[in-house]
Amino acid sequence: MNIRLSTGKEIPIEMHKVRIVQKASLVPVEKRLKAIEEGGYNTFSLKSKDIFIDMLTDSGTNAMSDNQLAAMMVSDDAYAGSESFYKLARAIEDVLGFRYVLPTHQGRAAEHLLAKVFIKKPGDIIPMNYHFTTTKAHIELFGGQVLEIYEDEALNTQSKHPFKGNLNIQKLKDAITKYGTGRIPFVRMEATTNLLGGQPFSMQNLKQVKQICSEHNIPLVLDGSLVPENAYFIKLREEGYKNKTIKEIIKEFMSFIDLFYLSARKSSCVKGAFIATNNEDLYERIKPWLPVYEGFLTYGGMSSKEIEAMAVGLREMTDINVAGSVPEQVKYFVEGVIENGIPVVTPPGGLACHIDAMMFLPHIPQSQYPAGALAAAIYIVSGVRSMERGTISMDRDKDGNEVYSDLELARLAVPRRVYTMSHIEYVVDRIQWLYRHRDLIKGLKFVEEPPVLRFFFGKLEPIDNWGTKLGEAFKKEFGVQY
């Protein structure tokens, strides 16, 4: 929720109280430099003890509510028939309207099952509004191909378009004509599109996608990892939804969806995931594989405590103060950065402040990974951990050629209910400082490059030892203690 101050300025106000806290520490710049060097200039390799504000992700890093913690005390650990599972199933039916539920240990496990069951032939095509790293990896491991069909505006980082996550309807029709329905096992929509900067799609777009899928008998799959945030943007930005509740908007989404999955590590603030549907046939096709890869039907690799907390988290995410908390904090964050002319993805999205590294560092060619260099530089000057979402996050093609990402973004994710306004102010300030000293940042090159999802374990080094020079410039201004 936003509150208007007497000065006229609007600020996002926290509609919760913080009663359990965790100590944070800011290690000095020398130590940060050593940590990033040892970690191969990859923020995934940093240790938590060396990080002040962790904006790597909003996945599994959110603060649970008191009611979620309370629910964990009464879980039922039965291997089969656990009462905790039936509570979750009731919450899913109530919030999303789906009767059949397949729990999995996390979102990518759901993606694995979908790819395994539905991709039948090499060369099968999965049209989608945009890929996510793990989704793409699973589809390709089963021989499928991702076909991204977004609107032109989606790749414009400096945009005012309210629904950059929309799928391009004409391109979907063209794809069906070109490949035929036999090669398209399903169409996937992602709410909100993570790698485009957490950008939502509109209800009207989803309706149109569904209509085309129905005409051709193609199942429509929704990755709903950030579904309350997408619903929040619809309430704010789409005509006719102002007076609808988040729950009503989510329910309307689901009326168009054949198969739903989400990673509960985000909006529901627990470690787990599930697939849900009302289509018995789709459910029965996936079900036999669940115990093979995840666990029995009533726990799917999750602990019963997390299942209990998920049932509560799903209901809580439909509260407008929960659904809107990250979008509003992100908006405040983005507006602070933009004020100083720093290129950042607009409109503000559903999970993070995304800095456009190609615009921030125009002197670094894509072959030298500007987004990776920016993420490392942000850490050096602030102790804030962000994530590279650019070419390092793309794997090479099968001939070993580099696949350049459409966007080079350094993503500063905002975990739910974890950081305060002064944390945000601090991050904005250090990014401003970095922008003034951006010429000191140069590119990166790989020294160790894994064959799949290389961004997780890859090791890189700075060209011309720029990290040390940046650290020196920072120390000169702020002293050794920062």
Catalytic positions, written as ranges: 79, 132-133, 223, 266, 389, 455
Among 62, 65, 199, 225, binds ligand F0G (CB under 6 A): 225
277 scored as a contact of ligand F0G (CB under 6 A):
no
273 scored as a contact of ligand F0G (CB under 6 A):
yes
Q: What is the token pair recorded at 10?
A: 């609007």
Q: Which residue is nearest to ligand F0G (CB)?
A: 107
The CB-side HSE value for 382 (13 A sphere, CA atoms) comes to 27
- Shortest Å distance, C-beta 192 to ligand F0G: 8
Give, as one character, the DSSP assignment of residue 379. H
59 scored as a contact of ligand F0G (CB under 6 A):
yes
Among 12, 40, 103, 107, binds ligand F0G (CB under 6 A): 107
Pick the closer one to ligand F0G by CB: 328 or 388.
388
265 scored as a contact of ligand F0G (CB under 6 A):
yes
Give, as one character, the DSSP assignment of residue 158. B
> How far is C-alpha 21 from the chain's CA centre?
25
- Shortest Å distance, C-beta 273 to ligand F0G: 5
Pick the closer one to ligand F0G by CB: 33 or 412.
412
Give, as one character, the DSSP assignment of residue 184. -
Q: Is there a contact between 344 and 355 (Cβ–Cβ < 8 Å)?
A: yes
**Coil, helix or strand at residue 315:** helix
Query: What is d(CA 237, CA 349) in angstroms, rounded to the nearest whole number?
Result: 12
- Shortest Å distance, C-beta 329 to ligand F0G: 16
Binding-site size, ligand F0G (CB under 6 A)? 15
223 scored as a contact of ligand F0G (CB under 6 A):
yes
- Shortest Å distance, C-beta 181 to ligand F0G: 25
190 scored as a contact of ligand F0G (CB under 6 A):
yes
Pick the closer one to ligand F0G by CB: 190 or 316.
190
Pairing of strands 100-104, 273-277: antiparallel
Pick the closer one to ligand F0G by CB: 33 or 307.
307
- First CA to last CA across the chain, in angstroms? 33
- Shortest Å distance, C-beta 454 to ligand F0G: 15
Pick the closer one to ligand F0G by CB: 275 or 427.
275
Provide the H-helix boundaries in 266-324: 280-286, 290-293, 304-316, 320-323
Cis bond leading into 162, ω under 30°? no
- Shortest Å distance, C-beta 286 to ligand F0G: 17
Question: Which string of b and e fits 155-166 if b means at least 16 CB within 10 Å?
Answer: eebeeebbbbbb
The CB-side HSE value for 59 (13 A sphere, CA atoms) comes to 15
Among 85, 132, 253, 256, binds ligand F0G (CB under 6 A): 132
* Cα-Cα-Cα-Cα dihedral sign, residues 156, 162, 167, 169: negative
Identify which range of 94-102, 103-111, 232-240, 440-448 contacts ligand F0G by CB under 6 A.
Answer: 103-111
Pick the closer one to ligand F0G by CB: 219 or 462.
219
Q: Is there a contact between 348 and 407 (Cβ–Cβ < 8 Å)?
A: no
Binding region for ligand F0G (CB under 6 A): 57, 59, 106-108, 132, 134-135, 190, 194, 223, 225, 263, 265, 273
